Copies of this chain bind each other. A is one copy, B any other.
């Protein structure tokens, strides 16, 4: 059935949409928690239900190595494996492969990429076609094409080459796709922070099609890749703008790996719908808490006797039930419940932030919210 996107409201460059898939609906802007190995670290799918997250991301790289895509498929696919019936988006594995690159472990060729497992050193290969097949086996609702994500800064020829290869691989991914009823396939736009290259890459990615130019063999949505990898926000925002300006209005736009409050509010201001990021969960595990007044470090001794919630304005279950002093204690004595509850708060806080953005767009006051967010996080 593919995907339908209804624009519910527009406010400046920002939009609120409802995406309908075979599995259900996704109200945007939407933040997708990262469940790398088939679970959010320190949380489970019951937590996901209670958080109300409509989409979770799982990493193809990790799952193809452990326990293996065929094992996941044998256990009924990712949804049954994780015990979750919400949306699951899988990345292609490419980002993790290229992140490993120390010049020896990863060998890129025109056809694909060969790499060694971080788990046991065994050799594996990903091609645009195998990335599609693996994500089909995993049973993702939304899969991503295999792309090439250069570090930033990179020289112009490296960025250009990444764009060209990613386009070729995008066409091959579309051609390799076999499941249309219950899986969506998103293309990825590269181009670094070069706005002209971004615009060109976006137009050409949108134009890609499989063997049937008139049919369903086009991308169901678009990832904005290669950003949030160390560049400044002043470099990132124009790159996003140059991309989204050339993407169709009836398809979702997803900035991959972005999840900090200021970055998300700026991206939403330029028409982005979807985000994922390990930041809220990783911060939580290390005792860094997201609050309406900014970040706090729960390891700090000043919180030992603090008899108030992590964020007094936060309606999440953690803030409703436990004090900062208690959570600080759990983290100080290395109780795993500490990182867990900090993770749940940070996820709830981030999910509420994007919900607040949606509400503000619907009510025509997004600019005020954007200013408020940037005042704390900018």
Kindly identify, within residues 289 to 341 of chain A, every residue whose CB is under 8 Å from any CB belonging to chain B: 304-305, 307, 317, 321-323, 325-326, 329-330, 332-333, 335-337, 339-341
The 8 A CB mask of A20-45 against B (1 = contact, 0 = none) is: 00000000000000000111111111
A46 to B321, CA, bound (A): 9
Of A71-79, A105-113, A173-181, A246-254, the stretch lying at the interface with chain B is: A71-79
State how many angstroms separate the Cβ of A120 from the closest Cβ of chain B.
12
Q: Is A377 an interface residue (CB 8 A)?
A: no
Give Cα A76 to B305, complex, Å.
Answer: 10
A336 touches B67 (CB 8 A): no
Known: A321-B45, A332-B67. A83 touches B326 (CB 8 A): yes
- Chain B hits for A329, CB < 8 A: 37-38, 66-67, 71, 81
Question: Which residue of chain B has its CB nearest to the CB of A65?
Answer: B333
**Protomer copies:** 2
The interface on chain A, measured as residues whose beta carbon lies within 8 A of the other chain's beta carbons, has a size of: 41
| Contact indicator A326/B82 (Cβ below 8 Å) | yes
Do B321 and A81 touch (CB < 8 A)? no
The complex places the Cα of A82 from the Cα of B341 at a distance, in Å, of: 12
Taking beta carbons and an 8 Å cutoff, which residues of A are in contact with B? Answer: 37-46, 62, 66-67, 71, 74-76, 80-83, 119, 304-305, 307, 317, 321-323, 325-326, 329-330, 332-333, 335-337, 339-341
Q: A37-B335, A38-B326 are in contact. List 11 more A-B contacts (CB 8 A).
A: A38-B329, A38-B330, A41-B336, A42-B337, A44-B340, A45-B321, A74-B305, A80-B323, A81-B326, A83-B326, A340-B340
